[in-house]
């Protein structure tokens, strides 16, 4: 641990000595500084764990095809996105919410868990923080996949096209 320097104690005091002496931000006093080497180690550890999650949990999210090449990695998002519907505010018809909305619900579950933990870290959460962080990382990657997927590249554009079809009738 690095020695701590205590300043005048005012809320707006910010002091961080680059020589590694200590850090005070607002009312919080930290007796250590996370160096870039440790940050990189944590990042590497999370990346390795994230890869394992995709290998093990990926099967569950794809519809369970035996051959990796026959599976749609986004089958869960697409399938649930078709099953769950909402009323269109423009035309009043029922329409699927789409994979992006399903992704947002799944993603926010993990974000809210982390926010709850951040607000009260002594209380604990149902899964370890590392597990929630891995989930957030995995869902960020999945959103990139959803965005790239040709059939879901624009839920808004798809919805607009379906509205146009109804208007043409």
- Tell me the angle at which helices 129-148 and 99-119 cross, rounded to the nearest 10 degrees: 160
Q: What is the pLDDT of residues 28-69, one digit of tens each?
A: 656 677 788 888 888 888 888 888 887 777 777 776 666 666
φ and ψ at 22, to 5 degrees?
175, 175
Helix, strand, or coil (residue 25): strand
Under 8 Å between Cβ of 104 and 81: no
Q: Using CA atoms, how far apart are residues 89 and 83, in angstroms rounded to an integer?
A: 19
- Cα–Cα distance measured from residue 87 to residue 7, given in angstroms and rounded to the nearest whole number: 57
Q: How many Å apart are CA 62 and CA 39, to the nearest integer?
A: 33
Q: Choose the weakest-confidence range: 3-17, 108-122, 131-145.
A: 3-17
| Res 161: pLDDT | 57
- Would the pTM of this model clear 0.75, i.e. be above it? no
């Amino acid at each position: 641990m690095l020695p701590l320097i205590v300043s005048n104690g005012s809320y707006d005091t910010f002091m961080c000595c680059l020589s590694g002496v200590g850090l005070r931000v607002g009312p919080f006093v930290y007796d250590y500084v996370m160096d870039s080497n440790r940050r990189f180690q944590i990042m590497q550890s999370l990346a390795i764990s994230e890869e394992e999650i995709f290998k093990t949990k990926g099967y569950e999210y794809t519809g369970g095809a035996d051959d990796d090449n026959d599976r749609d990695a986004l089958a869960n998002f697409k399938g649930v996105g078709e099953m769950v519907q909402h009323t269109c505010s423009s035309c009043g018809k029922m329409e699927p919410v789409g994979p992006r909305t399903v992704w947002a619900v799944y993603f926010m579950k993990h974000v809210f868990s982390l926010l709850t933990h951040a607000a009260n870290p002594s209380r604990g959460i149902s899964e370890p923080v590392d597990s929630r962080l891995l989930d957030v990382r995995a869902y960020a990657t999945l959103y990139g996949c959803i965005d790239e997927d040709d059939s879901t590249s624009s839920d808004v554009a798809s919805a607009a096209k379906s509205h146009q079809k109804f208007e043409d009738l």
